[in-house]
Amino acid sequence: MPRNWTPSDIEDRFDELSKQMDEAVADLEDAENDYHVCKANFEIDIARERLNLLRTPGVKMTVGEREDEALTRCEDQRRSLGAAEARVRAARANIGRINVQVDLARSMSTSIRTSIDMTS
């Protein structure tokens, strides 16, 4: 059986969604900060490895081989960067989900107000 929503119910839902949005935005900020730290660490470490390989006496490598070797040596940082990217995408998706719920609540609020106006 469908629920009969009241204006008070919708207001409570907006309050709940507002709290969820605040938490989601804070989570996104944390995720983006972690991502940028991971990205900077990875870029610095891979540059350091490229230079070390370039300066190693007697080691001859193509640019591609040097890039591959540097990436292999920085694989843990690259995995951390990938995980940080995934966390940012998930946090953004969560904000999108909450925005959809806000839109639905807004639509329900309009419908309820219209039905109240029609019965008055």
**Domain assignments of the chain as residue spans, ordered by start:** 10-119
pLDDT exceeds 70 at position 2: no
The conformation of residue 5, written as its DSSP 8-state character, comes to -
- Write out the CATH class of domain 10-119: mainly alpha
Buried-exposed string 29-56: b where 16+ CB fall within 10 A, e elsewhere? eebeebbeebeeebeebbeebbeebeee
Q: What is the pLDDT of residues 41-90, one digit of tens each?
A: 999 999 999 999 999 988 889 999 999 999 999 999 999 999 999 999 99
Q: Are 29 and 72 in contact (CB under 8 A)?
A: no
* pTM check: above 0.85: no
